[in-house]
Structure 1
Amino acid sequence: MERIGTPEQLRAWLIANELGSADMPASESLLRDARALREAIHRAGTAMAAGGVPDPVDEDLLNRWTARHRARLILTGGQAKWHLPETDSTRAARAVVALDTVATLGGHGEGVIKRCEQRTCGGLFVDTSRGRRRRWCSTATCGNKVKKANLKATRDGTEPGLTGG
């Protein structure tokens, strides 16, 4: 969510992730709440990627959002989908994000939450690869940047920077 700068972009992100609809209200207040949630998620994930535990303040924020959860997971067409109550779909959408975060951070073994090794990225990801050797949030973007930088360094006769880009 770090690239979401306006309430309309947040609504578009929620819709793209099947957590919202075109008639969902978008406001600065919603964006502020989403950013606070996003920052708590990022701090908690960063702590876990470094082998630590989340700050209790961030855990509390995540837990408060999960307690507000009114959405439910339903099976439709053979796929699990979130059903958000019509009473406050924006609150339910943020609760779903918090629930997914808690499940992801708390449900995987140590070392699975990682920080992208591409030096200008800093994004977090869940490494589900065999052997847990994945290094970048996305091979298509960050991985390719590093590989291109290393190839260029090799051609130029300089030392390749493994986390370049």
Structure 2
Amino acid sequence: MTHAFPGGALALDFAGTLRYRHRPEPREDLSSPESLSAWFRESGITEHAIPCEAADLRTALALREALHRLIRARMAGTAYDRDALALVNAYARKPAPVPQLTATGCHVEARLEQAFAAVARDAVTVLGGPDAALLKECGNPECSQVYVDRSRGARREWCAMDPCGNRIKAAAYRARKRTSGRRTA
């Protein structure tokens, strides 16, 4: 699997495809039409590759940034950006992928517009429902992934243990060892 899905919701994971937004140079996970197609397949929106072109990738990045602005606004308790809201709602109104029952189980195929609709509808569900109160940003200062904290007591600190939680815990351990080493010397 090429892509990570730590957010607990399609919309959050799609917005998180621009990783480490707090760094001077964030990492772009949707760097090609092929990586966009792979994201849709790995996310479970579709089982097969969706043909994508450069223009489709530009559309996806525009949708992703609109989602990011809406997520940040919701977390901050501020008004939504009107253009971002209009774009997400426009895609949410489009037909979504339709699962089909087959002799071997469930089968899902989607066109590109249906895949965008699935992400937009998920954003409407997350940002407009009870999960909106559970949104958190990863505690790793470099990571910008937003996730739904459904943990007991809402005490989850990281988008995922690997790599963010492990890095923070390892740094804290090294700091404790340095401090205890100075006290014994």
TM-score, normalised relative to structure 2:
0.72
1:155 maps to which residue? 177
2:134–2:149 contact (8 Å) kept in structure 1: yes
2:183 maps to which residue? none
By relative contact order (CA 8 Å, sep 6+), the higher-ranking structure is: 2
1:138 maps to which residue? 160
1:56 maps to which residue? 82
Q: 2:140 aligns with which of 97, 118, 131?
A: 118
Structure 2 distance, partners of 1:55, 1:45, is 10
2:75–2:135 contact (8 Å) kept in structure 1: yes
The one-letter amino acid paired with 2:33 is: P
Partner SS state of residue 157, structure 1 = helix
Query: Identity percentage over the alignment?
Result: 33
Displacement of 1:108 = 1.8
Structure 2 distance, partners of 1:92, 1:155, is 52
Structure 2 distance, partners of 1:110, 1:21, is 28
1:42–1:124 contact (8 Å) kept in structure 2: no
Structure 2 distance, partners of 1:105, 1:129, is 18
Could you say what the CA RMSD is over the residues aligned between the two structures, in angstroms? 2.5
Structure 2 distance, partners of 1:73, 1:137, is 29
**Unmatched 5+ residue regions in structure 2?**
1-16, 19-28, 181-185
TM-score, normalised relative to structure 1:
0.80
**Unmatched 5+ residue regions in structure 1?**
159-165
Pair 1:37–1:27, CA change in 2 (3 A): same
Displacement of 1:120 = 0.5
Displacement of 1:157 = 1.4
Pair 1:109–1:68, CA change in 2 (3 A): closer
Partner SS state of residue 77, structure 2 = coil
Displacement of 1:55 = 2.0
Displacement of 1:50 = 2.6
Pair 1:80–1:56, CA change in 2 (3 A): farther
Structure 1 distance, partners of 2:58, 2:146, is 21
Deviation sequence 1:68-125 (CA, Å, 0-9, x none):
2243456779x987553xxxx0000001010011111111255311111110011111
